[in-house]
Structure 1
Amino acid sequence: MKSKLLLALIATATVTTAHAQVKVEDAIKWRQSAYATMGWSMSRIKANIDGTYNKDDVIKAANVIQAIANSGMGALYVPGSDKGKGWVDTRVQPALFTDGPKVGKIAGDFNAAANELAKVAATGNAGAVKDAFGKLGGTCKSCHDDYRTKQ
């Protein structure tokens, strides 16, 4: 039931964005920017896990990831955005647009992991953050492995 709801939300967001006539290039730029921001935030958390742990820095970075994960990123995968250029050439594979149930599960797992990381970060428990961070990274990897063109 949960995955059906997620798929419906992704479909609705995509239709709404398409209705708003977002240019393909803009959609690609926005999603590339969001993923770059999440990557920067992930690197901030990793630096804290590997070095001197600063609870406040980790909370800030985890909250950024959570906010972006829950922002409706699916709406930025408009038709035609499997090719083209935003800041750089897109690396999304066309299969992302046709593998609805699998993509929906990955997106749901990513959102759940991002929410859990933010929740755990608030506790200040570095070990729990490390575990939650690893789970979040696993969700990123699962999407990259199947739907992102290697450089």
Structure 2
Amino acid sequence: MRHILIAALALFPLAASAQDDDPIKQSIEARHGYLQMLAINMGTLSGMAKGEVAYDETVASRAAANIEALTHYDYPSLFLEGSAAGQAEDSAAKPDIWTNMDDFKAKFAGLQEAAVGATDAVKGGEGNVGPVVQKLGGACKACHDLYREKS
């Protein structure tokens, strides 16, 4: 009996690791992580733009730089076939992404364009943060309105 228990326990990490090797699950987790990093940095800038957080040029510039850096990642590559809402757990991606992939990529390119120069644009006072947040937020909304399930 002891040998069976040892053998079962020895196989447990393999079963857990096999689940972690699921490319669909990995792509969804990566998308969530990516969006969480964007949200944290957008939250910092948004808080400053609204006056809820004291303006700090260094912090604002770092948050904007993080967003700029994130937009250099090929986010659309994380949208694997079979990872849409209704097909995979924890996905909010509408199936329209895969039937309109060129438009989806164009929406992401819009975010990339909105992020260009954000690091410097937020410098010089809290009044400079709002326009950057509006530009970035507009790019996010353009994609979310079409390609993200409402939660």
Deviations 1:108-134 (A, max 9, x none): 11101112322312x334323211210
Match of 2:140 in 1: 140
Match of 2:28 in 1: 28
What RMSD over aligned residues (CA atoms) do the two structures have, in Å?
1.7
Match of 2:18 in 1: none
Figure out how many residues of one structure are paired with residues of the other and give that number.
Answer: 127
- The answer on 1:94 being equivalent to 2:91 is no
1:106-125 residue pairs with structure 2 within 5 A? Answer: 106-121=107-122, 123-125=123-125
Which of these residues, 60, 64, 86, is aligned with residue 62 of structure 2?
60
Q: Which amino acid aligns with 1:132?
A: V
CA distance in 1, matches of 2:150, 2:55: 32
Q: Report the TM-score when normalising by structure 1.
A: 0.77
CA distance in 1, matches of 2:130, 2:117: 12
CA distance in 2, matches of 1:22, 1:57: 37
Q: Is the 8 A contact 2:121 2:132 kept in 1?
A: yes
Structure 2 stretches lacking a partner, 5+ long:
1-20
Q: Is the 8 A contact 1:109 1:139 kept in 2?
A: yes
CA distance in 1, matches of 2:132, 2:144: 19
Q: Is the 8 A contact 2:24 2:83 kept in 1?
A: yes
Q: Is the 8 A contact 2:48 2:129 kept in 1?
A: no
Q: Report the TM-score when normalising by structure 2.
A: 0.77
Match of 2:9 in 1: none
Q: Which amino acid aligns with 1:55?
A: E
Q: Which amino acid aligns with 1:25?
A: K
Which one is further off, 63-72 or 125-134?
Answer: 125-134
Instruction: Work out the percentage of aligned pairs sharing the same amino acid.
Output: 25
How many Å apart are 1:37 and its aligned residue? 1.2
How many Å apart are 1:43 and its aligned residue? 0.6
Q: Is the 8 A contact 1:117 1:133 kept in 2?
A: no
CA distance in 1, matches of 2:117, 2:22: 31
